[in-house]
Amino acid sequence: MIVPPYLKPGDMVAIAAPARKVTEQEVTPAATFLRQAGMEVYYDDRLFADCHQFAGDESTRAGYIQDLLDNPDVKAIWFARGGYGSARIIDRLNFDRFRQCPKWLVGYSDVTVFHAHVHQNFGIATLHATMPINVRDGEFDQEANRTLLAALRGETLCYNPAPHPLNREGSFSAPVVGGNLSILYSLMGSPSELDTDGKVLFIEDLDEYLYHIDRMMTNLERSGKLRNLAGLLVGYLSDMHDNTIPYGKTAAEIVAEHCAKYDFPVIFNFPAGHESDNRAIRMGCDLHCEIRNHQITIEN
């Protein structure tokens, strides 16, 4: 795994929108946050392009991100928000210069497209972390923001999540891949589909029906994505929905059911995903974990 250079004071972070549109007012607190942390911030008017729900048409979005990928002065690209749209532009991008001079690609949710594509095709680490749309004035010291900066600076990320009754004990030390479950499901059969053998799979999701969680987990199981995992890390499964006739299981219980025949360790309710406490994870880098006597220690 190739790890991009960690950031130092004065390095430039660019803000980009690969999917849903964003306003300057929405990203201003994040730009202030970066500057207070000693970083330079770059974006231009293309960030605020508007095409229905998207941040400009596909040509505009891809062209702006291509310029940032190719710009040697940009050391990290912090994606402004998720929504939907990254999969519509990922194949328009040329990663040749990015491969020669890797930089951190940062975000979560729909940005899972970038995490998966870059890991699978180029073996370059990325950062699953909070995004500018989540940064608020007066709240810069939140754990999500602190771990974002720590990860970009190369500090060891140490976590001790609370125990969960469905956790399965054990230990693992392997590269972590994954992201939003719905996005991973949508990438199956594409050039961005992940090879999970021998790796830690991280999943999280938001605003899904319980039967669809089962559908996606069934797909992962049938396609062999669970068969040879080193471990499973489950983040927030937020705001799940049920039908008039109840499904009969929680989202966590559905995930646990699909893992039952395997023996890898499983951690539920890791603080990452669509909640305010969204801790950073260096995707593609080793995740070291020990689960013993309901105590969990994680390093990344």
Q: What pLDDT, on the 0 to 100 scale, is given for residue 228?
A: 98
pLDDT tens digits along 38-59:
999 999 999 999 999 999 999 9
- Segments of the chain assigned to CATH 3.40.50.10740: 12-152
CATH superfamily to which 158-299 belongs: LD-carboxypeptidase A C-terminal domain-like (3.50.30.60)
- Segments of the chain assigned to CATH 3.50.30.60: 158-299
Q: What pLDDT, on the 0 to 100 scale, is given for residue 238?
A: 98
- Tracing tokens 């950062």 back to the chain, one arrives at 127
CATH topology of domain 12-152: Rossmann fold (3.40.50)
Q: Which two tokens stand for residue 289?
A: 């974990």
Q: What pLDDT, on the 0 to 100 scale, is given for residue 235?
A: 98
Q: What pLDDT, on the 0 to 100 scale, is given for residue 227?
A: 97
pLDDT tens digits along 145-184:
999 999 999 999 999 999 999 999 999 999 999 999 999 9
Q: What are the contacts of 142-148 at 24+ separation with CB within 8 A?
A: 142/276, 142/277, 143/271, 143/277, 143/279, 144/276, 144/277, 144/278, 144/279, 144/280, 145/33, 147/279, 147/280, 148/106, 148/280
Residues of the chain with confidence (pLDDT) below 50: none
Q: What pLDDT, on the 0 to 100 scale, is given for residue 218?
A: 98
